A = this chain, B = another copy of it.
Amino acid sequence: MASIRDVARKANVGPATVSRVLNNSGYVSEETRRKIEDAMRELNYTPNELARNLFHKKSGIIAILVPSVSHPFFAELVKCVETELYARGYKTMLCDTFREKNSEQEYLDMLNRNIVDGIITGVHSLRIEEYTKIDKPIVAFDRCLGENIPLVRVDHALGGRMAAKLLLASGCKDVIQFQGAKSVRSPSDIRHIEFERVMKENNAKVTSVELMWNRFDSEYFSEVTEQTMREHPDIDGVFGADLLAVYCMKAAIAQGRQIPGDLKLVAYDGTYVTDAVTPGITSIVQPIPLIARELAGLLHDMIEQRPIPQREKLMNVSIRYGNTTIGKN
């Protein structure tokens, strides 16, 4: 393989001049630049990218950490983030933290060691203190990681209220909501608080079913919804994340209940799975493409050392009407 010295010899310049062209630094005349580029082509010279990264202290790689990439919400988020990062000249490294807590720490170490230029994290395993130690570009999705780490999330309070109003307008009086493990605090908890508040204000009963930590597999969703529907035969409404709503509906239909006659459902996230089932499930939709754009844009700004105007970026949610609620609120 041709070296930088071979290129210099062929172009009849010094190696330092070739280096200036490679790194786009310092003055090189147009004519010399063209001579060097011609020599590179003729010699089929490929610059050693690792050496260049070492010089620039940038790898051009950004890591995205998600709890489970096979979960439809995170699959879509990862897809959109990858697209947004690619448009900004970055490659995406993917870390699925499902398997163990350690991997999250490992990626923070990689940030410290300049293997990645930044991190987008949507996981809830490490303690916040591990993050506050680091003074490098990190952006969080749906997680408070201290004052220095920008947060992107939807307006969960609004989402919770919307869901409650949809079920109330459908006549629900006794509903179940599925919520994440209480051992983990997340801004998305607000939706459950608001949901419960609005339902109770309107004299409806709310039972909260707490989910296990870090379980995103359909076996678990199937199991927990079947058990819940068996133990609560009298409920008339369900509020839960997409796959929970989908599997709840499946369990209810298996028990011979009519949808939406006997049971109303509102899903949270609004990925394709709530649309692919019959009946389509009325959903509170998180705008994943816009969330991805914010995450990538914020991180890019931090890497470029541009000022970040606001520490928290709140996105809107919307309703996609399906056939699991009655009327339009």
A272 within 8 A of B: yes
Chain B residue contacts of A72, Cβ below 8 A: 70, 72, 75
Interfacial residues of chain A within 55-75, with CB under 8 A of chain B in the complex:
57, 59, 61, 68-72, 75
Is A184 positioned at the interface, with any CB of B under 8 Å from its CB?
no
Counted per complex, copies of this chain come to 2
Contact mask for chain A residues 109-124; partner B; CB cutoff 8 A; 1 contact, 0 none: 1101111000000000
* Complex interface bits, A86-114 against B, C-beta within 8 A gives 1, otherwise 0: 10000111111011000100000110111
A175 to chain B, nearest CB (A): 21
A115 proximity list for chain B (CB < 8 A): 49-50, 91
Cβ 8 A contact of A247, one of B54, B57, B59, B276: B276
Which residues of chain B have C-beta atoms less than 8 A from A276's C-beta? 218, 222, 243, 246-247, 250, 273, 277
The interface stretch among A9-17, A77-85, A293-301, A312-320 is A77-85
Bound-state CA distance A94–B61 (Å) is 11
Q: Kindly list chain B residues whose C-beta atoms are within 8 Å of the C-beta of A96.
A: 79, 82-83
Nearest CB of B to A246, in Å? 5
**Which chain B residues lie closer than 8 Å to A91 at the CB level?**
93, 95, 110, 115
| A155 interface residue per 8 A CB criterion | no
A23 within 8 A of B: no
State whether A75 touches B70 (Cβ < 8 A). yes
Contacts of A93 in B (CB 8 A): 61, 91-94
Decide if A253 is an interface residue (CB 8 Å cutoff). yes
A226, CB-defined interface residue at 8 Å: no
Query: Does A278 lie at the interface of the complex (its beta carbon under 8 Å from any beta carbon of B)?
Result: yes
A37 within 8 A of B: no
Q: How far is the CB of A224 from chain B (nearest CB, A)?
A: 14
Contact pick for A94, options B82, B246, B277, CB 8 Å = B82
Give A225 Cβ to nearest chain B Cβ, in Å.
Answer: 10
Complex Cα gap A98–B69 (Å): 17
Q: A46 within 8 Å of B by Cβ?
A: yes
B275 touches A254 (CB 8 A): no
A-B contact pairs, 12 of them (CB 8 A): A46-B109, A46-B113, A49-B114, A50-B54, A82-B96, A83-B99, A92-B93, A93-B94, A218-B275, A218-B276, A250-B277, A273-B273
